Amino acid sequence: MYLIVVGLGGIGRSLAGIASENGHSVVVIDRDEERCADILAQYDLLAIAGNATDKAVLEDAGIDRADALVATTSDDALNLMACWLAKRYNVRTLVSIVNQKEHAELFKEVGVRISENPDEIVARSLYVWAENPETQLLASIEGGSIFEVTIRDGAEGVNKTVRETSDVKDMLYIAIRRGGKLIIPSGNVTFQPNDVVTVFTKKESEGRSVEYMDSLFH
Amino acid sequence: MYLIVVGLGGIGRSLAGIASENGHSVVVIDRDEERCADILAQYDLLAIAGNATDKAVLEDAGIDRADALVATTSDDALNLMACWLAKRYNVRTLVSIVNQKEHAELFKEVGVRISENPDEIVARSLYVWAENPETQLLASIEGGSIFEVTIRDGAEGVNKTVRETSDVKDMLYIAIRRGGKLIIPSGNVTFQPNDVVTVFTKKESEGRSVEYMDSLFH
Amino acid sequence: MYLIVVGLGGIGRSLAGIASENGHSVVVIDRDEERCADILAQYDLLAIAGNATDKAVLEDAGIDRADALVATTSDDALNLMACWLAKRYNVRTLVSIVNQKEHAELFKEVGVRISENPDEIVARSLYVWAENPETQLLASIEGGSIFEVTIRDGAEGVNKTVRETSDVKDMLYIAIRRGGKLIIPSGNVTFQPNDVVTVFTKKESEGRSVEYMDSLFH
Amino acid sequence: MYLIVVGLGGIGRSLAGIASENGHSVVVIDRDEERCADILAQYDLLAIAGNATDKAVLEDAGIDRADALVATTSDDALNLMACWLAKRYNVRTLVSIVNQKEHAELFKEVGVRISENPDEIVARSLYVWAENPETQLLASIEGGSIFEVTIRDGAEGVNKTVRETSDVKDMLYIAIRRGGKLIIPSGNVTFQPNDVVTVFTKKESEGRSVEYMDSLFH
Amino acid sequence: MYLIVVGLGGIGRSLAGIASENGHSVVVIDRDEERCADILAQYDLLAIAGNATDKAVLEDAGIDRADALVATTSDDALNLMACWLAKRYNVRTLVSIVNQKEHAELFKEVGVRISENPDEIVARSLYVWAENPETQLLASIEGGSIFEVTIRDGAEGVNKTVRETSDVKDMLYIAIRRGGKLIIPSGNVTFQPNDVVTVFTKKESEGRSVEYMDSLFH
Amino acid sequence: MYLIVVGLGGIGRSLAGIASENGHSVVVIDRDEERCADILAQYDLLAIAGNATDKAVLEDAGIDRADALVATTSDDALNLMACWLAKRYNVRTLVSIVNQKEHAELFKEVGVRISENPDEIVARSLYVWAENPETQLLASIEGGSIFEVTIRDGAEGVNKTVRETSDVKDMLYIAIRRGGKLIIPSGNVTFQPNDVVTVFTKKESEGRSVEYMDSLFH
Amino acid sequence: MYLIVVGLGGIGRSLAGIASENGHSVVVIDRDEERCADILAQYDLLAIAGNATDKAVLEDAGIDRADALVATTSDDALNLMACWLAKRYNVRTLVSIVNQKEHAELFKEVGVRISENPDEIVARSLYVWAENPETQLLASIEGGSIFEVTIRDGAEGVNKTVRETSDVKDMLYIAIRRGGKLIIPSGNVTFQPNDVVTVFTKKESEGRSVEYMDSLFH
Amino acid sequence: MYLIVVGLGGIGRSLAGIASENGHSVVVIDRDEERCADILAQYDLLAIAGNATDKAVLEDAGIDRADALVATTSDDALNLMACWLAKRYNVRTLVSIVNQKEHAELFKEVGVRISENPDEIVARSLYVWAENPETQLLASIEGGSIFEVTIRDGAEGVNKTVRETSDVKDMLYIAIRRGGKLIIPSGNVTFQPNDVVTVFTKKESEGRSVEYMDSLFH
């Protein structure tokens, strides 16, 4: 894959590193020369110091043969315009961070896959954790959430089977991690202390589900 | 809950906002006075401009009656020391961002729940997306991954039931989103164009699973 | 007219001043607080320090009842997004500076009236002047140019009529300025020393026209 | 032509580029070393980092053999002094931006051709446009203005001839742009939808003219 | 006297202080607000933060009723334009520092009294002193110099009269300072140890004069 | 002479230039590397970026073989210490600018020749000039002042001899400048229009002298 | 005591705090306004933002009735001059940090008590510690050093008396700290594990003493 | 010894210099590149610009073969984490500055030898000196203090023996410095004018001891 990464903040840097280590051709664009120099010293990729909405910069970056462009800056206007220009060069895959919820619609109109405010995603997960130290929010999708919960020694659910503890509607066990191994939770698997259980629950039943797990595993 | 948030970068700001809007007592600590002034203008909380490792600052923040402290700065040393000091004040729940993987062990020794480098998490998800525009990585756990895939019109899996398409080992349908509704994928549900399917797969079968979904839904 | 001006550089400041002095309701948006304070001290308008792509800022600016939004910053991405958001609020008239020629198409797609790089327009006019001190380029349109030329005392064209000097194809006298008065150049008007003559010429005949005027008036 | 450009703001940069691309010998002077380095990387010219009122700098720039000096900075005092010193070296053509109307007289006394505040010119044109989205002010001269108007489909003037619509005194059709072609508006040319018409009008009849065009073409 | 001082560097500050303490009406203009605030706290005068070539600023400063304007900035272009504008308001006395010798002519053409580069004047005096620690250069005029020399105890000239030591052509004793008193050097005054003698000498005889004083007084 | 100059402000730069052009060995010391680089590009001398109170810096500058050290910074404490350290290295001649009158005593105690605040000297001269445009203060010594006055055409003193106009006590003609020539004012020289007359007057008679010259020459 | 502290770096701040908490009248002088504001918020003292070599500043600080002035800045020239000026106001006690060893003599000549470079003192103590983790250098005087050593459990010296272990010449036990109590080491006191022993040794015997303690206590 | 120094402030620089001059292998780590370049120019050691909590930086610094790490920054959190990481690499000796007393416990838990706030130590010593100009506090230990006092000529204690003046309980003479020689104060040594006496006293008797010495030696 020939990938153009716009922006070398924390996310852009990580992305460029991952893609480059996986053997893809990576070009990064950032206004800051120092950031460009830094990443060049670390990875085997191309770095261009310039404005990603500048035609000359995009062409230097090989926009006409790129398979994907991912915009990761904290400036939605820049992300949007860079994606739009890339589209005119027939870049097949366009992905962008969207920093303000309200801008999501514009990106969709241009045909960009968006990842909403990453800071908010992390914050939401920390929030759940601060409230329920044993329960971690792994991901939110429209209509549902995926949690992870660690079973306390002596909890009520210990030694019970998956089947016995599946009473709650709209809740689903996804996986159980036990001492480095991962178990698909078929009905007669029994829960053990220190198991880390991954659970899916519908949004409307989230409160009830968290409560149930609390009573069962803590 | 009485919550202390250390650091007012993107994550800290979001977290403080969420917690405050959920009716909790929130105190934020950041070295930058302007950031403190900004958040005070937005939310109903307490903001202290100072160093979160400074005893006087922590006491001003009410550390002795706090239920939780979440450290969100990009400086692991500061996060670690703030958590450790909070522990000596018997703050029950300690959560921290860990910016460098190698520091995780120190946080665990102090008894802090950690969330590893959030930038890397987001970058990894964007990377998967850039590679497979129709497949989004929602979350990674030890030993497994959770993906989301959108069904193309005319794909092979359309009108097939969940049961018919469950041949692949170590893969599990978690949920189906269809026009704003969320369906728990029991065996005889049939897939429709534009359904967004959430799937769990073990790490060791991840390649095979993604391939299978690709053949089925794109 | 209820007018929102985005950006308080030289152009934005002038525009805000003109509109405000003509009795319109003007709101200006600029990221720089000092600039906002400065213009507030000078004109009777509203100034908001913030990002013009921020929904809350636009609403504070009264975007829902604005008749027109003019984007004047040197950042095309910001200009584009501000106009696009304004369009979603049904602002009837959208005008923007476009700093890079290559971006013009995107603005047109959104339905924005554009004024191409103003610096370049001025530079082009200075260039003509440096080359022909007596001939000033007033404006360029697609396919043609409008010039101004001052008649030297003793030049060949003095005392000739407009009709006698209209041999050159694709050239048209627009106006003659003489001692503070403006004369519409009907056929039998005669040219006088120090007259300032405004002339239109097609692009393809520009060279020939300038040469002709040179021989006639200098 | 041997041209010295003082100042590398937007206008100076554009001017240097145009002149250099037209094969002239160009020397630019700006206090900022970075700006000088930037333009050297782009065009084939000479750039000197220094103060354009410094004799040594002017001599390094070849002032004694220059044909023209154009001052483009936002500092009128600097523009004025640079032009005046150039005059003492017998530079034939002196042109300058004048940022404050009140300074125009001083420049004229020294014998400098001036272009009044370019920001204001652009702002005035945007202002007209914001008021009448279909009518663009192209240029203002003493006593008259040149406008451009686009003919709406179904407007009253469609299919009428130039002669039929020339009732208004002190107004003159200059050109008609139709699908990439430029037509000189002789009497029996008929107006078509989407034609862009360039019109001259005397200042004292400007209101009436704009009104007339509005009724005719919108 | 109603005096406007342009620039609040070391010289401008001193000048404003002296004039204000002598009971004159003083207005100072400097771009820096802090400098304006500082001097307002010290003296009874008016201070305006702004550009002294800005008509509005000059009028705020009362340029139309000023008796004198003294320009003291290190920017000759600014000094020149401020003086020239003041002249148009009929300010009778115009004085300016000239930082670069080569600019002196322009100031004279405008009718400004000039004081050439003050740093150079001081440097020249220090230079003489470093060379001849007992001889200080007080002032240079066209064609001549004024020195001060201290008589060493035991020097050859001690107890000689002014007349006896007046052999050198083009040299003139101006004054003798003795223990706080000042003596006009009539012919039969005798020199005493520690007398400080002020001497005038023509430029062409300067070397010989300094040598002579050296042999006489050191 | 081997000369060390401390400080590269306006005065230090001038001094270094003068001494270097007169063939002396010059070393300059300034904290700012850029200033050092600038002067190296201009003159043939040695420049050291460092603190002039630092023993290693002074020794690099060759303090042990220097004939003179002149301190020209605006920081009296630095000037004083640099001179004092130089004295311990037996530098024969020590000269310093003294920025605050109150510090003069300390310098004298160390044995440093001082030049009091140069800004104030220039300001005082400008002040006299602003008051009496035709009379310039050239220098002040304890107990007396040296002025320069230009004779207006038609003034009362024109064609009078020096002797006829020497009535005023404590006043002395020093020199007359006439068309580029310098005349020693012996008794029967007659004054001519446009002569520039240099005059000495005792402080206590200054008012009367200036008045007298005014009546005579203006 | 009426104390003036010059400089609000780490040392100055601490000193001002200690003196103020002990009930003395304290005035601090520092150039930085923010530092002054900070310390005012913490202690009951007077803070003046200004240059401590400025006569007006010193008088505002009450120099004429001060008992002591302590200069703590990192600029020796400033420290020296401030002390010297204070001496002229008859301040009885003058103390100063001296940052460069070579400047010590000048301070002594003025009659200032000096404390040589504090950073070096601390560094030397850390250095000893890094070399001998159980032995800490407490202080150095001319000709001798004071160390502290902790007795390891099972060391040879445990249960021996002071008298038995006093064989080494030029070494002296000063004190023994045991569980919060301090014991004067008379001859028949016995050493216990974890005792912290303070020892004096002459410089010339330092090696032998440290060796001896090492064999005895580790 | 292979020593890693973290931080290149005053203390770190001094420490690195001392250790390097004593022939040890020294590596310094500081975030600031300029500081690193400066020390490299002065000493024969290795300097790494980076964050000392970064695993890669520590490994570049050779943490796996270091004998000691000394943390000297003003940021306790950084000092603590650097020490802790070093411990995991089995660095035997860990020493750190602790800037805030309250953090001391955390360092001790990790097993780090600490030196409490060095600024406060120096400040305390200056404070004693300002109060008693003849008495200098050399060091404080838990429960006791070490002072130095200079004997005034004519003081009461002159010519008395050590034994005669040892009445005060909890006070001990440690050493006497006389003209460059150091004397161990055995009982029959007599005090002489200008002797510098080093004295130990218990904290609870400090007031009485200082008073006694005052009466005896001043």
Per-residue pLDDT of chain F (218 residues; tens, 9 = 90+): 899 999 998 899 999 999 999 899 999 999 999 999 999 999 999 999 999 999 999 999 999 999 999 999 999 999 999 999 999 999 999 999 998 888 999 999 998 988 777 787 778 778 877 777 777 777 777 788 888 888 988 899 899 999 888 877 788 898 898 987 888 888 889 999 989 999 999 888 888 888 888 888 88
C-alpha dist (Å) from residue H163 to B145, H176, H213: 84, 14, 14
Q: Which of D75, D81, D100 is facing E76, going by the closest CB pair?
A: D81
SS (H, E, C) H180-212: CEEECCCCCCECCCCCEEEEEEEHHHHHHHHHH
Say whether E172 and F184 touch across the interface (CB within 8 A). yes
> Within a 13 Å sphere around the CA of D156, how many CA atoms are in the beta-carbon half?
8
Contact G50, G57 (CB under 8 A): yes
**Does the pLDDT at position G125 exceed 80?**
no
Distance from CA of B15 to the nearest CA of A (A): 5
Chain A contact for B23, CB < 8 A? Answer: no
Give me the mean pLDDT over the D100-117 stretch.
Answer: 87
Say whether C11 and D175 touch across the interface (CB within 8 A). no
C-alpha dist (Å) from residue C147 to C199, D96, D208, F33, F53: 5, 18, 25, 52, 66
Say whether A81 and C84 touch across the interface (CB within 8 A). no
Say whether E81 and D103 touch across the interface (CB within 8 A). yes
Q: Residue B210 — pLDDT band, cuts 50, 70, 90? A: confident
**Does the pLDDT at position H146 exceed 90?**
no
Strand partners, A148: A136, A198
- Chains with 3 or more CB pairs under 8 A to chain C: A, D
pLDDT digits (tens, 9 = 90+) for H57-113: 999 999 999 999 999 999 999 999 999 999 999 999 999 999 888 899 999 999 898
Q: Which of F70, F129, F141 is facing E198, going by the closest CB pair?
A: F141
Say whether H144 and G182 touch across the interface (CB within 8 A). yes
Amino acid at position G106, single letter: L
pLDDT at B166: 81
User: What is d(CA B136, CA A124) in angstroms, rounded to the nearest whole number?
Assistant: 19
pLDDT at G184: 85
Chain D contact for C188, CB < 8 A? Answer: no
Indicate the Cα dihedral angle A27, A32, A33, A36, nearest 10°: -30
Higher pLDDT: A145 or G95? It is G95
Assess: ipTM above 0.85: no
**Chosen from F28, F127, F132, F206 to mutate, greatest number of chain E CBs within 10 A:** F127
Strand partners, D69: D4, D94
Say whether E76 and D78 touch across the interface (CB within 8 A). no
* Closest among H130, H135, H149, H133 to H198, alpha carbons compared: H149
Whether chain E lies against chain A with 3 or more Cβ pairs closer than 8 A is: no
Give me the mean pLDDT over the E97-123 stretch.
Answer: 86
pLDDT at B49: 95
**Does the pLDDT at position C195 exceed 80?**
yes
Q: Residue H124 — pLDDT band, cuts 50, 70, 90? A: confident
pLDDT at F86: 96
Question: Which range in A18-27, G207-216, H158-167 is most confidently predicted, on average pLDDT?
Answer: A18-27
Distance from CA of D128 to the nearest CA of C (A): 10
Give me the mean pLDDT over the E121-144 stretch.
Answer: 78
User: What is d(CA D4, CA D82) in angstroms, rounded to the nearest whole number?
Assistant: 11
pLDDT at C90: 95
pLDDT at F142: 76
Say whether B14 and A184 touch across the interface (CB within 8 A). no
pLDDT at H145: 85
How many CB pairs below 8 Å do chains G and H form together? 188
Chain G contact for H146, CB < 8 A? Answer: yes
Measured between beta carbons, which residues in chain F are less than 8 angstroms from residue E130? 1, 3, 19, 68, 70, 93, 95
Which residues, in sequence order, are CB contacts of F41 under 8 Å at separation 6+? none
How many CB pairs below 8 Å do chains C and D form together? 191
Chain D contact for E53, CB < 8 A? Answer: yes
Measured between beta carbons, which residues in chain B are less than 8 angstroms from residue H106? 81, 84-85
Measured between beta carbons, which residues in chain G are less than 8 angstroms from residue F82? 77
**Does the pLDDT at position G95 exceed 90?**
yes
Q: By percentage, how much of chain H surpasses pLDDT 90?
A: 53
**Does the pLDDT at position H2 exceed 90?**
yes
pLDDT at H135: 77
How many CB pairs below 8 Å do chains A and B form together? 188
User: What is d(CA A55, CA A64) in angstroms, rounded to the nearest whole number?
Assistant: 11
User: What is d(CA E73, CA E56) in angstroms, rounded to the nearest whole number?
Assistant: 19
Measured between beta carbons, which residues in chain E are less than 8 angstroms from residue D88? 105
Say whether E117 and F9 touch across the interface (CB within 8 A). no
pLDDT at A137: 79
Amino acid at position C115, single letter: S
- Chains with 3 or more CB pairs under 8 A to chain A: B, C
How far separated are the first and last CA of chain G, in Å rounded? 46
pLDDT at A93: 92
- Chains with 3 or more CB pairs under 8 A to chain H: B, G
Say whether G130 and H68 touch across the interface (CB within 8 A). yes
**Does the pLDDT at position B188 exceed 80?**
yes
Higher pLDDT: G88 or G203? It is G88
Q: How open is the CA angle F201-F206-F207, to the nearest 5 degrees?
A: 150
Measured between beta carbons, which residues in chain A are less than 8 angstroms from residue C53? 76-77, 100, 103
- Chains with 3 or more CB pairs under 8 A to chain E: D, F
Question: Which range in A167-171, F162-166, H11-15 is most confidently predicted, on average pLDDT?
Answer: H11-15
**Does the pLDDT at position H180 exceed 90?**
no
Chain B contact for H59, CB < 8 A? Answer: no
pLDDT at E187: 84
Say whether G15 and H97 touch across the interface (CB within 8 A). no
pLDDT digits (tens, 9 = 90+) for C77-118: 999 999 999 999 999 999 999 988 889 999 999 999 887 777
pLDDT at B53: 95
Amino acid at position E95, single letter: V
**Does the pLDDT at position H129 exceed 80?**
no
pLDDT digits (tens, 9 = 90+) for A22-37: 899 999 999 999 999 9
* Closest among A147, A101, A122 to A10, alpha carbons compared: A122
Amino acid at position F158, single letter: V
pLDDT at A88: 95
Measured between beta carbons, which residues in chain A are less than 8 angstroms from residue B148? 141
Say whether G95 and H133 touch across the interface (CB within 8 A). yes
Q: Residue E180 — pLDDT band, cuts 50, 70, 90? A: confident
Nearest CA in chain B to A1: B131
pLDDT digits (tens, 9 = 90+) for E51-103: 999 999 999 999 999 999 999 999 999 999 999 999 999 999 999 999 888 89
Which E positions 76-105 lie with beta carbon below 8 A of chain F? Answer: 92-93, 95, 97
How many CB pairs below 8 Å do chains A and C form together? 44
> Within a 13 Å sphere around the CA of G80, how many CA atoms are in the beta-carbon half?
29
pLDDT at A176: 92
Lowest-confidence segment of C116-125, D39-48, G24-33, G191-200 by average pLDDT: C116-125
pLDDT at H93: 92
Measured in residues, chain C has a length of: 218
pLDDT digits (tens, 9 = 90+) for D143-171: 888 888 889 888 998 999 998 888 777 88
Mean confidence (pLDDT) of chain G? 89
pLDDT at C46: 96
**Does the pLDDT at position E121 exceed 80?**
no
Q: Which of E53, E100, E106 is facing D84, going by the closest CB pair?
A: E106
**Does the pLDDT at position E29 exceed 80?**
yes
- Chains with 3 or more CB pairs under 8 A to chain G: F, H
How far separated are the first and last CA of chain B, in Å rounded? 46
Distance from CA of G30 to the nearest CA of H (A): 16
Contact D78, D99 (CB under 8 A): no
**Does the pLDDT at position A146 exceed 90?**
no
pLDDT at B170: 84
Contact C69, C94 (CB under 8 A): yes
Lowest-confidence segment of A167-171, E3-7, E104-108 by average pLDDT: A167-171
Distance from CA of H100 to the nearest CA of B (A): 8
Say whether H70 and G115 touch across the interface (CB within 8 A). no
pLDDT digits (tens, 9 = 90+) for C138-193: 777 778 888 888 898 889 989 999 988 887 778 889 889 898 788 888 888 999 99
Q: Which helix (H) or strand (E) holds B84?
A: helix B76-88
Give me the mean pLDDT over the H21-44 stretch.
Answer: 93
Q: Is residue B101 packed enough to be buried (19+ CB in 10 Å), middle (13-18) or exposed (0-12)?
A: exposed
Question: Which range in A39-53, B170-184, G164-178 is most confidently predicted, on average pLDDT?
Answer: A39-53
Say whether F80 and G78 touch across the interface (CB within 8 A). no
Measured between beta carbons, which residues in chain E are less than 8 angstroms from residue F170? 184
Say whether G55 and F85 touch across the interface (CB within 8 A). no
pLDDT at B78: 97
